[in-house]
Structure 1
Amino acid sequence: MEINNKLRLMVISTSTVYGSDFLAYIRDRIADFIQVKDVLFIPYARPSGVSYEDYTQRVADALSPLGIKVSGIHEFENPGKALIEASAILTGGGNTFLLLKTLQEQGLLSVLQARLGDGIPYVGTSAGSNITGLTIGTTNDMPIVLPIDFDALGLLPFNINPHYLDPDPQSTHKGETRETRINEFHFYNEQPVLGIREGSWLLVEEGEIQLKGNLQARLFQKGKAPIELSPGKIDF
């Protein structure tokens, strides 16, 4: 799959790292990336018990020190028009099944896909990153709702597994590891899966994918041993 050279994406594993406030570790890089002062926020993956309004306000509070104004897509009478007119788009984390189902039901998935294909800056964290891949089949979330299907935006030639965790040799937990779950996925599916560790992200610009941050990412391909990818350009 060839990367659209107009795409401008930040595909972030997590909004919060240990010892840091919400978006604090990444917000300067978000500002440098989007290069605009107005952002449309998609809160549809909202965490349980958090309203769209509260979730949007949390993002607004995090980005306000940088002079960035955040508006929630739910505030607009016509969400599709809001996507078309947005200067930059940010989609937050929560539950990926809920996010995808809501985008599908509102007829926004294809609109979002088209806008990103035209080069509007897009920032996704967690669930917002999951949907940039081929499908959401490697999300870590429980299927609390049922989307029409699992097809995502298909902007990248692989699936995303955010919050990727390595097995802990000291752990007494004997359940499946993240690697085991991805291998199970590959028993039935062909597409590669990129596990992105906390504090890392993908930067997609000019037809290239760059791994950013200080940690490696883990690439899983069906029938092959996993590969550790160092920060820098990723080739497929």
Structure 2
Amino acid sequence: MLNILLLSSSSYKETGYLTHAKNLIENFLEECDVKQDPILFIPYAGVRRTNEEYEKKVKESLNKENIISIHHSNNPQEAISKAKVILVGGGNTFMLLYKLYKYDLLNCLTQRIKEGACYIGWSAGSNIAGKSIKTTNDMPIIMPKSFDALNLFPHQINPHFISGKIQGHNGESREERLEEFLIANPKETIYAIPEGSALRIKDDKIKILGHNSVLKFEYPMKSTTLNLDQEYLY
């Protein structure tokens, strides 16, 4: 059984860090019947803050003292194997995946979530739940062993999705970048999650939560709108 919540980002408009996500996370934990269980936090995507700083920020923002960062554990694999709830924060996707490979945690993380542990991620933490990180928006500041990710959700994820050209930006739009990926990988599918929105995945179904619809891109470049509060087979 899969129980997964993938948020586009840690913030939405001017609401503050994780403020928009609190109710989504609370409802998700209630559905999973693990509201009071310890939450194992993986801070490896953080680059400009220490593990301690990241843990403290997430605890304070979500008002949950039961969040415990994996960096406190002498045996991270064991910590994952015993976790009922796993929370993976955003930052740099390449750094996150690099460290998961470095500490040999990717496979045990996948296995534990498939066994029933609830998974919550945002930004980079959402991106790694998909098939690979090839549709991340992040700069490749470090080279992971592979671009292959958790593959819990067997498609590509593009968080922080913004449609159209940004004023004053002369590079490619997000749609153009995703089209490039599909030309190179025509059998793949991309789920583009705008800010303030999330995918709620339960087994082989997804539900769109939050503030904005999600776009599903396929080759040749075409999009399907997935509406809020609607459930879809993926």
Whether these two folds match at TM > 0.5 is yes
How far apart, CA to CA, are the structure 2 residues paired with 1:221 and 1:198? 21
Instruction: State the partner residue of 1:233.
Output: 231
Structure 2 counterpart of 1:123, one-letter code? I
SS of 2:222's equivalent in the other structure is coil
Structure 1 counterpart of 2:160, one-letter code? H
**Structure 2 unaligned spans of 5+:** none
- After superposition, the C-alpha distances for 1:22-51 in whole angstroms (9 at most, x for unaligned) are 111111221221232221100000032x00
Q: Is 1:179 aligned with 2:175? A: yes
Instruction: State the partner residue of 1:120.
Output: 117
- Give the one of 194, 200, 204 matched to 1:203: 200
Give every structure 1 segment of 4 or more consecutive aligned residues whose post-TM-superposition deviation is greater than 3 Å: none
What is the root-mean-square deviation of aligned Cα atoms in Å? 1.4
SS of 1:202's equivalent in the other structure is strand
Instruction: State the partner residue of 1:3.
Output: none
How far apart, CA to CA, are the structure 2 residues paired with 1:13 and 1:127? 9
- After superposition, the C-alpha distances for 1:150-194 in whole angstroms (9 at most, x for unaligned) are 00111112100000001147x232210000100111121131011
Instruction: State the partner residue of 2:140.
Output: 143
Instruction: State the partner residue of 1:69.
Output: 66
How far apart, CA to CA, are the structure 2 residues paired with 1:33 and 1:172? 39
* TM-score, normalised with respect to structure 1: 0.92
SS of 2:201's equivalent in the other structure is strand
Structure 1 counterpart of 2:233, one-letter code? D
Contact kept? 2:92, 2:138, Cα under 8 Å: yes
- After superposition, the C-alpha distances for 1:49-72 in whole angstroms (9 at most, x for unaligned) are x000000110111122xx551100
Contact kept? 1:41, 1:71, Cα under 8 Å: yes
* Residues 1-236 of structure 1 aligned to structure 2 (within 5 Å): 6-34=1-29, 35-37=34-36, 38-48=38-48, 50-64=49-63, 67-168=64-165, 171-189=167-185, 190-231=187-228, 232-236=230-234
* TM-score, normalised with respect to structure 2: 0.93
Between structures 1 and 2, the one with greater strand share: 2
Give the aligned length: 227
SS of 2:200's equivalent in the other structure is strand
Contact kept? 2:162, 2:174, Cα under 8 Å: yes
How far apart, CA to CA, are the structure 2 residues paired with 1:94 and 1:22? 13
**Structure 1 unaligned spans of 5+:** 1-5
How far apart, CA to CA, are the structure 2 residues paired with 1:217 and 1:59? 25
How far apart, CA to CA, are the structure 2 residues paired with 1:192 and 1:178? 15
How far apart, CA to CA, are the structure 1 residues paired with 2:171 and 2:195? 21
Q: CA deviation at 1:223?
A: 1.2
How far apart, CA to CA, are the structure 2 residues paired with 1:115 and 1:97? 22
- After superposition, the C-alpha distances for 1:197-226 in whole angstroms (9 at most, x for unaligned) are 001001112431111123111111111422
How far apart, CA to CA, are the structure 1 residues paired with 2:92 and 2:169? 24
How far apart, CA to CA, are the structure 2 residues paired with 1:207 and 1:138? 21
How far apart, CA to CA, are the structure 1 residues paired with 2:220 and 2:57? 42
SS of 2:129's equivalent in the other structure is coil
- After superposition, the C-alpha distances for 1:108-161 in whole angstroms (9 at most, x for unaligned) are 000000010011111000000001100000000000000111001111121000
Further displaced range: 90-99 or 224-233: 224-233
Contact kept? 2:204, 2:233, Cα under 8 Å: no
Structure 2 counterpart of 1:7, one-letter code? L
Structure 1 counterpart of 2:47, one-letter code? P
Structure 2 counterpart of 1:60, one-letter code? K
How far apart, CA to CA, are the structure 2 residues paired with 1:172 and 1:36? 45
